[in-house]
Chain A
Amino acid sequence: MKFKNKIKAVLGASLILTASACESYLDVNENPNNPQDAPISGLMTNITYETSLNVYREGSAVSNYVQYLASPNPSSGSDTMEPLNFSSMWFSLYNVMTDLYTMNEKAEAEGALQYLGAGQVLMALNLGMTVDLFGDVPFSESFNFSTVTPAYDDDQALYGNVMSLLDQGIANLQQESSISIGNDDFIYGGDIDSWLKFAYTLKARYMIHMKGASGYSASEVLAAASQGFTSNDDNASVTFFEQRFNPWAQDAINNANLLLTGWISEQFIQALDGTSYPTVDPRLKLMVGTTDDGEFIGTVNGAGRGNAPEQGARSTLVEGQYYTSRQSPLLIATYSELKFIEAEAAFETDKAAAYAAYLEGINAHMDMLSVPEDEKDAYLAEPSVSMGADALTLADIFKEKYVALFLHPETFNDARRFDFSYKDMNLPANVNPDLNGEFIRRLAYPDSEISRNGDNVPSVTLLDRIWWDQ
């Protein structure tokens, strides 16, 4: 019995010891790789970086629709306007908005009103970019994990959110801030004046979308524009890095390595090479590459490259140009875009102002590309370009804006507002027969949403227009 007592004592003691030690021994599950919290400046860095990439992603998604680019393969779904799956782009848009939601919450709590203001401006931008492509999207039940199947909000109502976010952003940017934005901001490096101009520029952009829809006021657009960008120096962009190349440059590099991408549409080439319009645009050679023989030859959307080899017989993006240098800026919004918005808004009321803005838009874009002065002057002297205020048409504005917004997703908004009436813009070969001979009007909801949130996803066709495109 003595022996048993001994065992009992030893066992009992050791088990009790184990039990108390157990809890702390097992308390090792805190994530050692990912922090529980992140500083707002770190969020700002990623948000500005990813926002610029979202512009690229959308640009990449719609550049074939507006026929900047064309696929080297026949019947490519992006040329023929088939319903494609944009799940990863959708993810990126919502990922940035989630970060913005988080940053704005933290900034508000910390009184970092500059961050809050800039965050609201970028939230407006990312939301606006999402609505413009998809129409009704989740927002009011988003970002806080209140439900795993967030409802979809009406697209017109979401435009209200875009506008109020911009207004709030403008207000907050002018407040005292507990922390100042600095180099963590890849767009402006903390320059609040530029942020304010950017916010007004975006107001002008989203208001011009509403032209022809309720709530549009040309004077409001012009008022916003007057507080927007005043030169190319104000452009909202992220300049890329030695460690990470500009994605359009990367596309050009990939294409050079036979991962075919970045082939220029025949439509774009012909708009600039004197085929569709009487003038040869000096910007063409600064924007796209030539064939081995030094010619500009585009690829017909939907037709593929035919018997052309993979290299040397078609114009493609080539590394080293304004849009495609390794450290080129990725453009979010530009002074020239604003000038064309102004031109369009003033067109009905003040032709002279519209014409001046139109010319300044071309001029600004040419300056951005460093077009030599003599070539610029020659182009601007062409009667088909400087037709005079009275002869100016909306088509002229849209055409020049089309060139100035090369690769930018805003052109898909313009194209829909302009009913794809660009000169010589034809439906692609092998166009998706479900479109009944029309151009695509929206993107299909991504597969990821349909499989994860199917009950809420509206049922739409690619011809269903979003609210401002009626």
Chain B
Amino acid sequence: MKKSYSLTLLFVFGFLLSIPTYAQQTVRGKVVAQEDGQALPGVSVVIQGTNNGTVTNIDGEYSISVPSSESVLTFSFIGFESQSLTVGSATELNVTLALSTSELDEFIVTAFGISQEKKSLGYAAQSIDSEAITTSRQPNVVNALQGQVAGVQVTNSGGAPGQSARIIIRGINSLDPSADNQPLFVVDGVPVDNSTVESTGTPRGMTNRIADINPNDIETMSVLKGAAATALYGVRAANGAVIITTKKGKAGQVQVNVSSSFGIDELVKKPALQDQYGQGFSGVRDDSSFWPSWGANIAEENDPTYVYQDNWTNAFNTGKTIDNSVSISGGNEKATFYGSFGRLDQEGIIPFSTWARTTAKLSGTVKASEKFNFSGSVNYSNSGGNRVPHDRFLERMMYWSETTDVTDYINEDGTMKTYGNTNPIYDARFATYEDNVNRVIGNINLNYSPTDWLMFSYRVGTDFYSDSRTEITPGPMGIDGELPLSSTGFIEETRINSRDLNSNFYITLKKQWNSDWNTQLRVGNDVFERKYDRISLSGSNFVIPGFYNVSNTTQVFGGQGKSIRRLVGFYGDLMVDYKNFLFLNITGRNDISSTLPKDNNSFFYPSVNLGYVFSENFDLPSWVTFGKLRGSWAQVGKDTNPHILGATFVSPSVFPLNGQVGFSKNSTFGDPNLKPEQTTSVEFGTQLAFFNNRLNLDVTYYKSNAADQIIPVPISDATGFSSYITNAGEIENRGFEIVVGGSPIERGDFRWDVTANLTTNKNEVKAIREGIDQIVVGSQFGYAGSTVTMILREGEAYGNISGSYYVRPDMPEGATELDRSLTQRIGSNGFPVRTGNQIILGNAVPKFFGGLRNQFTYKGLELSFLVDFRAGLQQYDQFGNFLSAFGKQEDSNRRNDTVVFPGVLADGSQNTKEVWLGQGVGPDGVDYGAGYWRNYYRGVSENFVKDASFIKLRNITLAYSLQPQVLEKTPFRSARLSLAANNIILSTPWDGFDPESFSSGAGGNAIGFTGLGFPGVQSYYFTLNLGL
């Protein structure tokens, strides 16, 4: 480590010595828009190759000192094409900026919030502007990225208010079943927390913490995908980074923006269900049976009070969202400010599910002098709601009689109204889990530029939140004959405090050597700390019914978990630009992590990337507007979780008992010689534009290998441990990312823009440590031996789902994957024969996915829609498994049918035996017991691992903005009305709820299991935006 210091110092000072001095000259001028000749305030005017610059004032005027007549001024403004002009002898330079027509000249915010011309990047990066973020009105900014960025897969864990969404860039990098694998989120240059802290008991659909940010405050989001893009962020961005830049005030008059929207949510999709059979078993009506729908044919009962209740429609509400925000911004050349308030209230489709978020933000920039500027922001948010036990809700819906109204759930005395089973709505109402998060994200940026080639920058940020959770399950009320939710009642109070501190100091040195060579060097130091503390206190058995306080319980348990993680990084970043067509970028970073053994905790990793704009170097046909090739190679290290090394003792949570506290050896052992993980990635790409930017194409090939994976490897319990955290494997991800965009039509006021993106991903577990055959990532329950497991084996893909299957006599010996086309074996009883052995039934990682966005504008009218899709993946449908066990699926209408299962008997002959599908004694006099679905179908995983592809209309928006001539007659600067619809399924083979919802929250890795989670919703929004 000391060695790298001296190297760095040498590097820095070698550079310093070669700085020449300059003469001074002042240039003034005015910047106007080409379209209407109106003055443009807030345009950035920067002396190329330096950090020195200014912005235009309210009248579009600027004044700047330039070192020499050779200086080049770059004028840039978001939404306009940048212009660079050599000063020459001029003292006045007036500039006309044209509206930007393509993303080519786009500036993109890269590591540390540095705005860079996309042209100069040697890696793929994509950015999303504020309109694309807020148009879908998604309360969670992660969802706003859905379908919009190549290489980025966003999945909702469910449709609950405030429920987490998971974002994965270029596949999974860490095999550890509990690894997050999500990118680092950075707000205004400072990383923030996006963890999802799930509930300890039944799933409640908790929030990923980035949802505390109000999307209305966001100016742009850029997605940095590969290790090359994120090398400067180090270990925490090993899975990529999402760089959020919030809105800032602009010089000019004070602007007020008001945005108000109202939305409704509806169940997007439900499985096909039968409505013919009522409560009971074996075809016999029984109004107090546990069995909800194996009973009599409802119509044949001929009882006007005995009807199918359509509970699956009635149990779900229409969700409501009200989202209001107001912002005020403004400033002058010296200082700007931006302030906002936002309030979001959401009610979900499962009764009593709510979430609300209040945000307040204040930010400002001050240019104290030509040499010194600073900015800062504080973001406060309060969020939380009542998280219904959604998993249990759907499970109880499953058990609930189809002939009893589920919405009639409560008696006058407050006890549950039921025929015997627990009513799901009663449970949702009274078994509460409320969270209340108070969070402050603050940062300060200081820039000091003593000369035009040197700048010192310091950013410090904190992200602090407290999360206070209360879970209550009432006990008996003491009323005769009541059926309580719990025989004792339960309360748990949880207090979570988490604090992130980030400090980042860096020095930027710039030098324009001559008209051909331009260089920039940045060196810096980065420090990160996260302190986390969770305390829980639970009590059960309430003494006074209905008085919910831990001290009112007879059994009290407490628990605590805390952690601290610190990281110190040193980095250097050299950018070389030759004649503005060849761009070289070399970075190096050394991280030291508190989580690794002292001997291995310091690790260095380099990256290099090259961009070559060949269109500026060659004479190309005139229809080729722009062409660039890029390539990169990068490494990034990754540390591990804090406090996992070595052997420790634990006190099992059951203690104290009789005043004694027991201890046991922790069954997890962290390798004292653990090394950091290392991901090496290469990327090649090209960016092309044709027909004067009317058509753009961007293609990237990526391959990344994450080696020395830190995995908790399950080992023989007889060793004294069950899990050995060690470097144990390697995974490879590779694929293409293709973005095609263009403006096919641009005539007069009419304009059509289209962007499409497509991503492919292939991955393979390249190696697992010797002596270990397989690593179980997760499993999900299925009845009667249909439980499925996700297992890693060398040479196989990540995401394989294994489970039981029907025997197929022609299956080759040792086959690892099921070939469903082979003929099934039929037993002598006429039913297909299953085997409990596990075989690969599918893979949960989509082979390709993408999106298509179209936007039509005509004067103030705007229609846009985003269609996204994913294909080539299978998921386990636990819900389908339950449906078949309880006779609720549509297919069970066949229960009085007699069929012949196609297949061969043990002797090889074709099966011809007729069997009855129902329960009990069939028409042929044979006793079929619990019937086909319970005895056979539900016990075979194969039946429930199904194609989970979809095409969705992710968003469609129709908007109208008042035209300037109308606005003149109003007090408003701008006014926009829009109607939007989200998450409409256009096509999917999946029979179930929204296949996008998955069972575990966003924080884990066990994908491919869909179960009893909160079902996905489709939503409709009406939004009004006003500017004053």
Contact = CB atoms under 8 A, between A and B. Distances in A.
Contacts of A47: 662
Interface string B742-776: 00000000000000000000000000000111101
A157 interface: no
Interface string A80-111: 00000000001100110011011000000000
Contact of A183 (B450, B487, B658): B658
A451 B776 contact: yes
Contacts of B583: none
Contact of A25 (B568, B645, B669): B568
Given A22-B568, A29-B595, A309 B643 contact: no
Contact of A46 (B450, B664, B714): B664
Nearest to A258: B290
Contacts of B592: 22, 26
A124 B592 CA distance: 47
A142 B719 contact: yes
Contacts, number: 195
Contacts of A449: 716-718
B643 A95 contact: no
A91 B717 contact: yes
A451 B658 contact: no
A148 B716 contact: yes
Interface stretch (A238-246, A293-301, A385-393): A238-246
Contacts of B594: 26-29
Contact of B663 (A25, A38, A138, A147): A38
A437 interface: no
Contact of A95 (B595, B660, B661, B667): B667
B522 to A, nearest CB: 14
Contacts of A26: 566, 568, 592-594, 601
A142 B720 contact: yes
A32 B661 contact: no
Contacts of B667: 91, 95, 98
Contacts of A32: 562-564, 643
Interface stretch (B646-654, B873-881, B891-899): B646-654
A11 interface: yes
A276 B829 CA distance: 34
B833 interface: no
A69 to B, nearest CB: 19
B563 A46 contact: no
A37 B487 contact: no
Interface stretch (A12-20, A197-205, A209-217, A458-466): A12-20
A186 B660 contact: yes
A257 interface: yes
Nearest to A39: B663
B721 interface: yes
Interface residues of A, number: 74
Given A148-B716, A448-B717, A309 B289 contact: yes
Contacts of A439: none
B722 interface: yes
Contacts of B487: 253, 257
A436 interface: no
Nearest to A92: B717
Interface in A1-60: 3-4, 7-8, 11-12, 15, 18-19, 22, 25-39, 41-43, 45-47, 49-50
A354 B776 CA distance: 53
B645 A29 contact: yes
B660 A34 contact: no
Interface in A233-261: 241-244, 253, 257-258
B950 interface: no
B5 interface: yes
Contacts of A33: 560-563, 643
Interface stretch (B9-17, B74-82, B199-207): B9-17
Contacts of A384: none
B657 A452 contact: no
B330 interface: no
Interface in A126-142: 137-139, 141-142
Contacts of B498: none
Given A11-B12, A253-B487, A22 B1 contact: yes
Contacts of B662: 42-43, 45-47, 49
B929 A74 contact: yes
A36 B648 contact: yes
B643 A453 contact: no
Nearest to B541: A242
Contact of B649 (A38, A49, A453): A38
Contacts of B525: 18
Contacts of A37: 649
A42 B720 contact: no
A89 B667 CA distance: 14
A99 B646 CA distance: 16
Given A451-B774, A451-B776, A94 B717 contact: yes
Nearest to A37: B649
Nearest to B562: A32
A143 interface: yes
Contacts of A27: 594, 598
Nearest to A257: B487
A260 B776 CA distance: 29
A150 interface: yes
Contacts of A42: 649, 651, 660-663
B993 interface: no
Nearest to A144: B720
B44 interface: no
13 contacts: A8-B13, A19-B2, A31-B646, A32-B643, A39-B663, A42-B662, A95-B665, A95-B667, A148-B772, A150-B719, A257-B487, A309-B290, A449-B716
Given A184-B660, A304-B929, 18 more contacts: A8-B13, A11-B9, A18-B568, A26-B592, A28-B642, A39-B663, A42-B660, A90-B717, A95-B722, A98-B721, A138-B718, A143-B718, A150-B718, A258-B290, A307-B282, A309-B289, A309-B290, A448-B714
Listed from nearest, the 6 A-B pairs whose CB atoms lie closest are A46-B662, A38-B663, A138-B718, A42-B663, A45-B662, A34-B648
